[in-house]
Amino acid sequence: MRIGELAKRTGLSRDSIRFYEKNGLIRSDPGDEPSNNYRDYPEDLLPTLEMIAEAQAAGFTISELRRFMAQLDAASIHDFDGEAFLQGKIEEVERNIIRSKRFLETLKAAKSALAIGGVDDTDPD
């Protein structure tokens, strides 16, 4: 499939897809027609792109993703402690969730305080 269809089906921008490819997270093949520079992306890339987007949202860096995905693809994992790496990322995501929940409560309390106090946002003083 071409990049436009891939972008439409994943909800990612073409630039994001190109960025992921440039950074070695995904691959494409040259198109069938020698007269253009179109790239073809495999159908099985859809779940990979979904995983990449979710991992980034959870705090994975591109470097971490590149390393992790390389290990998933590698036949030998002798240089990489995948379990320790994933455990560290799990703990990091859990810490982010705790911080986010704490901040959510702060926002809710601030909203309640504004409603109770009847703060007028239009008053310049």
Distance (Å, whole) CA 85 – CA 81: 6
Burial class (CB in 10 A: 0-12, 13-18, 19+), 17: buried
Task: State yes or no: pLDDT of 5 exceeds 90.
Answer: yes
pLDDT tens string 45-98 = 999 999 898 888 888 899 988 888 877 776 555 666 777 878 888 898 899 899
Record the pTM.
Answer: 0.61
The pLDDT score that the predictor gives to residue 19 is 93
Identify the CATH class of 1-77. Answer: mainly alpha
Q: How far apart are CA 120 and CA 104, in angstroms?
A: 23
- By percentage, how much of the chain surpasses pLDDT 70? 84
Domain ranges for the chain, please list them.
1-77, 81-117
Residue 26 · residue 49 · CB < 8 Å: yes
DSSP label at residue 13: -
